[in-house]
Amino acid sequence: MLLFVFLPIAAAALIPVFEKVWKELVDFLANAVALALLVLALAFITPLRYNGPMVLNFSELFQFSMTFYLDSLSLLLLLVINGVGLMALVYSIEYMKEYGGKGRYYALFLLMLAGMNGVVLSHDLFGLYVFLEVAACSSYALVAFGMKHEELEAAFKYLILAAAASALILLSIALIYARTGNLDMKLVSDGINFSLYQGDKAIVFMIILLVAGFGLKMAMVPFHAWLPDAHPSAPAPISAMLSGVLIKASGVYALMRILYNVFGISNLPKVGFMLMGMGILTIVIGGILALVQTDYKRLLAYSSIGQIGYILLGFGIGTPLGFAGALFHLMNHAAFKSLLFLNAGAVQQATGTRDLNRMGGLAKRMPVTALTSLFGSLSISGVPPFNGFLSKLVILVAAIQAGHMLGNHIYYWYAAVGIGFSVVTLAYFLKVQRKAFFGKLNETLAGVREVKFAMTLPMIILALLCLALGIGFPWLNQALLSPAANTLTSLFVR
Amino acid sequence: MTLHVVLLGLLVAFLILAVFLTDLLKAAIALALGSAVLAIIFFWFRMPYAGVFELSVCAGLVMVLLVSTIGLTRRDEPEHEERNKSGWLLLPILILVAVGIIDVVIFAFLHTRMPLVHSTVTTPSFSDTLWRVRWLDILGQLAIILVGVFAVLALFRNEGGLPGAAGERPADEEPHGH
């Protein structure tokens, strides 16, 4: 379990040294580390299914008292992080050639992976915060990696807002420590719930700080201002990682883990209602703003905000079905949004522009990019049999089911908004397809050619994954989603 | 006026100076002084471990990293300094507001409403805390230092030669939404 954090940190330290000796080796080394991490995560599926959550207590090994905790929810996130990480790294082999400084890029990328893996494995609130910062600091540098004015400005804006988020999270952790005298999630959970039943108002303040802090990290409306600048400005594989994985591991996962497993907010329906309300607001604002964009990557960034809304809606419902839907959509969004950002990167590299109005007819020149982009667009728009259809369906069914059980009509309205904005998603992705890939070929793009195999391969794999996750839903639900959803229904038990 | 308010005022003043000063070296020195005052506050509130770390890492190591990085830069044209002079008028107001918020919210409001449970916690020794209890934090901090080093090396690299790099902006690449 320690390898999930230690291996990428060690590789990050060594890669710039190897770069001096043999430049081509760094591509292999970085990809080999990401592949090893993915295989390691896959190897945990069966043992975890039969033996239950695993605890790596360092006190048993080296007399360290901190622990790593791996349950079905952590494993799901590890698969997503390292799977998308591998795809982005394969894509980077060709894409990052023009940027230079590949060794430093891979080092920062692997440190970001280590940080995210640490976030999902940490069972200690301050440990979670430290790894959150490792991932965040690496991402600031990676956003600015191209060193153009726009990228530096976006990275600075991202840094300032993410630092504000970190300050809110740290203040909340400090208050939790002051209240309970512990940082271990299990022990904090015992202390917090004792307080909850005593009607402690300080708990509400801690929850508000956490929602605002992690809300900023996940770009939940109204804390979303940084994302439409940061995600499009970064190199394409980094955009894929930020939109596909980072906002989920650092924002959604961390918040839900603390709210449901530590604070036990299943006992506080008002917090669930607040999450659902924020989710709906995020769906609506993200969807409307995406609709009016003409910058390819900026449209994708606003779309990410909208999709985070669906995930929040699922978590806010607070039933096992809602959790399963939210987790499935989290996984699916990682697949299709990283695919769509890789498509956008390929188009930008081939045409030199991100302006949709200056494209057209690219399907003739870039057939693989066009076809995989179509797969991604249909998936995110919720068209069957792709994965996005099923995850949105599960969330909406969970909302209707909860409304029926509680006799509350607001759930039906939330489901209706969810369906309506799925149509809006389809509308803006049809716009992308029409303006970029179909129609008459723009004369200025006559010389455009398909990108190289190292860039098309991850796009093909992710496109097939979008289809496979939809078709394989029953197996996936049984093996990963239901066990992961069940972990959120109760407090930490170790 | 109690000593903690004076220290708080100094801390806020140094940190605001670190943000406002356009000379990077002076800003770094202001940050180091702010860290030193924060270390005194930690000692004042009987948190020696935090104080030692704040003094050694933030006022020491980070200062060295910042000065090394500044050494890689060159001075910009003085017109930028002229432009920001009006901002200095806001400085005393900002300091007063920040001290007021922190003093009222943190010290007066939260402090009295957050019952501390220190009596139930056994405090381990410094070496136990550092090398056993919080060992993973050291690994995390090592990773953050690596991030800092690679970020500086990456953003000051000369290879690549991207069009529009190092502050130039091509005509068709205006930033959006500002």
Closest residue to B146, CB basis, from A13, A181, A191: A13
Residue of B nearest to A140 (CA): B151
C-alpha separations of A229 from A48, A61, A85, A144, A477 in Å: 39, 45, 22, 11, 35
Nearest-angstrom CA–CA distance, B100 and B98:
5
Model pLDDT for residues A77-97, shown as the tens digit of each residue:
999 999 999 999 999 999 998
Q: Which residues of B touch A201 (CB under 8 A)?
A: 113
A55 band by pLDDT with thresholds 50, 70 and 90: confident
Q: What pLDDT is stored for residue B41 in this prediction? A: 85
Q: Where are the domains of chain B?
A: 1-74+91-114, 120-159
- pLDDT of B174: 41
Mean pLDDT of chain A: 89
pLDDT one-digit tens code per residue, A449-484: 899 999 999 999 999 999 999 999 999 999 899 999
Contact check, Cβ <8 Å, A148/B134 = no
List CB contacts (< 8 A) between B144 and chain A.
130, 133-134, 137
- Is the pLDDT at A315 greater than 80? The verdict is yes
Higher pLDDT, A88 or A20: A88
Mean pLDDT (whole number) for B59-67 = 80
**Chain B interface with A: residues with Cβ < 8 Å:** 110, 113-118, 120-121, 132-137, 139-144, 146-148, 150-151, 153-155, 157, 159-162, 164-169, 172-173, 175-177
Question: Residues near A445 by Cβ (< 8 Å), separated by ≥ 6?
Answer: A351, A359, A360, A361, A362, A365
Judging contacts by C-beta atoms under 8 Å, the chain B residues touching residue A100 are 157, 159-161
Residue A41 has pLDDT above 90, yes or no: yes
Distance from C-alpha of A482 to C-alpha of A479, rounded to nearest angstrom: 7
More confident site: A369 or B171: A369
> CB–CB of A101 and B173 under 8 A?
no
Check if the interface score ipTM surpasses 0.95: no
Percent of chain B at pLDDT > 70 equals 60
Which residues 6+ apart lie within 8 Å of A442 measured at CB? A358, A359, A360, A361
Distance between CA atoms of residues A311 and A194, nearest Å: 29
Residue A36 has pLDDT above 70, yes or no: yes
What is d(CA A185, CA A190) in angstroms, rounded to the nearest whole number? 9
Domain assignments of chain A as residue spans, ordered by start = 3-487
- Distance, in Å, from the CA atom of A136 to the CA atom of A245, rounded to the nearest integer, reads 12
Interface test with A, best of B101, B139, B173 (most A CBs within 10 A): B139
Site from B122, B150, B169 to mutate, A interface, most A CB atoms within 10 angstroms: B150
pLDDT tens figures, B11-51: 888 888 888 888 888 888 899 899 889 888 888 877 777 78
- How many Å lie between the alpha carbon of A292 and the closest alpha carbon of chain B? 12
Q: Which amino acid, A59?
A: S
Q: Which of A218-222, A263-267, A410-414 has the lowest mean pLDDT?
A: A263-267
pTM of the model: 0.85
